[in-house]
């Protein structure tokens, strides 16, 4: 199978027609006409600023997820320190970096943006972003469901500036909001006093400091499109649409996954692609799996990548239970609407391990087991509101390595379980995303939670670069071992065509103690059988006839002859045929 384009080659005329059609669905006639006129002007303006070059996703694409100030050093801007880390420690195996919101912000470690077009001065400057972009492609965050209450946009809204009239969702508190799906337990509406001493009840999906934008006003859309195109101008190769499922509000509905939301994503995609068709749109929607993958659209009109939210909890559950049945059955059912889209596979992130995606995959008892293990391993559980009183688990807060192991376990056990989980992610169909703390084997940062009283900070520790360098060079240390093994596996993955994100795959049945996935390649001789032992003792499996008699594990270079394969506790192999 040849490399697939991850975008559709529409003509300029067809693309403009699609934009116009989406506008006519979302807005009334006059607003749609005005919006279309302004969008054409935006496209023409940015076309003169941006040079577009074709780019195609392959197995060489690996994304590191990190904060702009993830590593720090005295007398140096954090973004410059991050650039040094990327160049000196991962450039040979990781070609892309997702820098979590680096804009000026007021809370939530960047996700309450004060100024969409600025760089937080405590992290660095646009010059620093440009330096990173010289050697790495960059994913920018489009935090466009909400912004900070301290933003100029919101202050001008409260000041009754006509330019920002109806920029935010001002709602009558007596309205029936009982159908609204909530990702938090905090109040949906927050009171603000405007400059005329009038109380404004503003929609705040994610908390009081994050005021939701009102896309029913087409002028909001125009401002946001300008921001997204500005990101492309500044070097964004990928744009992550944060919490995008919630952007359209309509009374009497759940206010999530509405038709207008999907139309707006399609519109944003076409506007961006009218200027730079190689830019990848990735949606972040921590919702049940079937709802999550709806953001692929037809496979040609919405996100090119979708966060594979079900993978992290299912992978952890399989390791903790020593049972791969749920993981295997779910993986067998993975389907994509076209060969132009793929999953973004990950285990850990700045947010923790979301569990909404597996609400209909794990039973209540199985979910209870996962929550119990999280707490036993020193982690925390965050909840979301259902109605006025009921709460349901939303995410697990801990480092992924600690989720998989008990505090009393030794580092040898930690390494085995952690690397097993990461090797599965690297073998799955799609593009892998690696959280910085997973790459260097970080443990849960309990002190942060004691200081902030925010569960998510348990996996958001900032690291002194000088200390980190020492840890990565200490041969017997956990951080060194994880980092070195991770890099070794990555160095193999990026050179194997079978791991092309668009290639076909099969899940093989070797019983509930093992998980196996066959990754097809255009050249049959490059096919890989990735096989994983999910239990703490030796297992033996019988390989299918198609594997042939002579195989080599491309990770260890160990040769295997015959049909029987023995795997030690938590061992994994990537097998290829030996060509004689």
pLDDT given at position 44: 97
Torsion over CA: 543, 546, 550, 551 (sign)? negative
pLDDT band at 440 (very low <50, low <70, confident <90, very high): very high
Residues 501/430, Cβ–Cβ less than 8 Å: yes
pLDDT given at position 119: 98
Report CA-CA distances (Å) from 557 to 237, 310, 493, 551: 35, 32, 14, 10
Distance from C-alpha of 563 to C-alpha of 556, rounded to nearest angstrom:
19
Evaluate if residue 552 carries a pLDDT over 80. yes
pLDDT given at position 62: 98
pLDDT band at 342 (very low <50, low <70, confident <90, very high): very high
pLDDT given at position 227: 98
Q: What is the residue extent of each domain of the chain?
A: 63-149+213-256+278-498, 504-577
Q: What is the mean pLDDT of residues 358-363?
A: 95
| Residue whose entry in the numeric block shows the structure tokens 């660095």 | 124
Helix (H), strand (E) at residue 305: strand 305-307
Evaluate if residue 5 carries a pLDDT over 70. no
Tens digit of pLDDT for each residue in 218-267?
999 999 999 999 999 999 999 999 999 999 999 999 999 999 999 999 99
Catalytic residues: 242
pLDDT given at position 560: 84
How would you class 198 by CB atoms within 10 Å of its CB: exposed for 0-12, middle for 13-18, buried for 19 or more? exposed
Contacts for 541-546: CB closer than 8 Å, 24+ residues apart = 541/510, 541/511, 541/514, 541/516, 541/565, 541/567, 542/510, 543/575, 544/508
pLDDT given at position 7: 65
CATH topology for 63-149+213-256+278-498 is TIM Barrel (3.20.20)
More confident residue, 231 or 544: 231
pLDDT given at position 389: 65
DSSP reduced 3-state for 201: strand
Evaluate if residue 1 carries a pLDDT over 80. no
Evaluate if residue 534 carries a pLDDT over 70. yes
CATH number belonging to domain 504-577: 2.60.40.1180
Q: What's the token pair of residue 206? A: 């994610």
Query: DSSP letter at 110?
Result: G
What is the pairing mode between strands 353-354 and 342-345? unpaired
pLDDT band at 346 (very low <50, low <70, confident <90, very high): very high
- The reply to whether 63-149+213-256+278-498 and 504-577 are identical in fold is no
Evaluate if residue 532 carries a pLDDT over 60. yes
pLDDT given at position 507: 97
The mean pLDDT value of the chain amounts to: 95
Query: DSSP letter at 213?
Result: B
First to last CA, the chain: 24
Q: What's the token pair of residue 281? A: 């749109």
CA-based nearest residue to 530, from 554, 513, 550: 554
Evaluate if residue 3 carries a pLDDT over 70. no
């Amino acid at each position: 199978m040849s490399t697939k384009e991850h975008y559709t080659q529409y003509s300029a005329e067809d693309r403009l027609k699609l934009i116009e059609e989406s506008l006519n669905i979302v807005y009334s006639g006059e607003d749609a006409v005005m919006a279309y006129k302004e969008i054409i002007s935006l496209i023409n303006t940015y076309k003169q600023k941006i040079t577009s070059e074709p780019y195609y996703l392959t197995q060489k694409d690996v994304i590191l997820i990190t904060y702009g100030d993830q590593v720090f050093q005295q007398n140096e801007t954090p973004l410059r320190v991050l650039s040094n880390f990327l160049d000196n420690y991962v450039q040979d195996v990781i070609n892309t970096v997702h820098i979590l919101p680096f804009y000026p912000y007021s809370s939530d470690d960047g996700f309450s943006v004060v100024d969409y077009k600025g760089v937080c001065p405590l992290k660095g400057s646009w010059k620093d972003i440009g330096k990173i972009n010289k050697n790495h492609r960059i994913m920018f965050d489009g935090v466009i469901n909400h912004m900070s209450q301290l933003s100029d946009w919101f202050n001008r809204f409260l000041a009754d500036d006509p330019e920002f009239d109806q920029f935010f969702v001002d709602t009558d508190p007596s309205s029936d909001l009982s159908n609204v799906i909530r990702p938090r337990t905090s109040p949906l509406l927050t009171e603000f006093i405007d400059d005329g001493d009038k109380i404004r009840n503003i929609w705040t999906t994610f908390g009081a400091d994050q005021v939701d934008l009102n896309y029913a006003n087409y002028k909001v859309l125009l401002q946001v499109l300008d921001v997204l195109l500005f990101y492309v101008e500044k070097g964004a190769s990928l744009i992550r649409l944060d919490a995008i499922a919630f952007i359209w509000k309509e009374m009497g509905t759940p206010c999530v996954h509405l038709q207008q939301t999907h139309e707006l994503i399609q519109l944003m995609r076409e506007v961006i692609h009218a200027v730079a068709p190689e830019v990848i749109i990735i949606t972040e929607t921590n919702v049940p799996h079937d709802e999550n993958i709806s953001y692929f659209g037809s496979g040609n009109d919405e996100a090119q990548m979708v966060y594979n939210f079900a993978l992290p909890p299912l992978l952890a559950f399989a390791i903790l239970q020593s049972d791969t049945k749920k993981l295997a059955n779910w993986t067998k059912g993975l389907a994509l609407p076209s060969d132009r889209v793929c999953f973004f596979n990950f285990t850990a992130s700045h947010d923790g391990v979301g569990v909404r995606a597996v609400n209909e995959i794990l039973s209540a008892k199985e979910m209870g087991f996962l929550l119990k293990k999280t707490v036993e391993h020193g982690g925390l559980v965050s909840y979301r509101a259902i109605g006025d009183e009921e709460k349901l688990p939303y995410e697990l807060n801990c480092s992924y390595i600690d989720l998989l192991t008990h505090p009393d376990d030794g580092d040898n056990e930690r390494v085995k379980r952690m690397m097993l989980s990461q090797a599965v992610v690297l073998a799955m169909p799609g593009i892998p995303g690696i959280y910085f703390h997973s790459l260097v084997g970080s443990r849960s940062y309990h002190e942060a939670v004691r200081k902030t009283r925010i569960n998510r900070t348990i996996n958001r520790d900032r690291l002194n670069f000088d200390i980190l360098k020492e840890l990565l060079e200490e041969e017997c240390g956990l951080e060194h071992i994880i980092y070195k093994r991770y890099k070794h596996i990555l160095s193999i993955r990026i050179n194997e065509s079978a791991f092309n994100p668009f290639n076909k795959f099969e899940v093989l049945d070797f019983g509930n103690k093992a998980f196996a996935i066959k990754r097809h390649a255009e050249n049959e001789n490059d096919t890989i059988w990735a096989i994983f032992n999910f239990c703490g003792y030796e297992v033996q499996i019988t390989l299918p006839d198609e594997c042939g008699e002579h195989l080599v594990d491309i990770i260890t270079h160990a040769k295997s002859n015959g049909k029987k394969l023995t795997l030690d506790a938590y061992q994994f192999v990537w097998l290829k045929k030996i060509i004689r």
